[in-house]
Amino acid sequence: MTIEHTIRFFMNSPFEPFTLMMIDGRELHVRNWNSATLGERAEIIYMTHPTRQVEIVDTSHIVSIRTIYASNRATWMGTSDRR
C-alpha cells in the first residue's frame, strides 16, 4: 500500500468511511473524518476508537484499504469509470 493511496482515502471530499486491513489481520474502521488523522508525513495514523482509546498506527503495516459502503471506483483510481 502506498502512502499516496492512504492519503487519498483520508483526504477524499466528501469523506467516505473506510477500513484499514493491517498486516496482523486486524481491521481498523475509519467511520468518520474525526476518528483518524494522518501524521505529518503520512507515516503514522492517530486512531480514536469508539471506546475513546487512542492508537498510533504505522502506515507501513497497512495491507489494503476498503471502502465500507459501495463507492464509485473512478474516485479511487483517478480516472473516469469506463465499465
Q: pLDDT digit string (tens) for 17-74?
A: 999 999 999 999 999 988 999 998 889 999 999 899 999 999 999 999 999 988 877 7
More confident residue, 2 or 60: 60
Long-range contacts of 61-64 (CB under 8 A, 24+ apart): 61/22, 61/23, 61/24, 62/1, 62/6, 62/20, 62/21, 62/22, 62/23, 63/1, 63/21, 63/22, 63/23, 64/1, 64/21
The pLDDT, as a whole number, for residue 5 is 87
Q: Is the pLDDT of residue 79 over 70?
A: no
Query: Any idea where the domains of the chain sit in the sequence?
Result: 3-69
Residue 83 has pLDDT above 80, yes or no: no
pTM of the model as a whole: 0.82
Q: In the prediction, which pLDDT does 78 show?
A: 61
CATH number of 3-69: 2.30.30.100
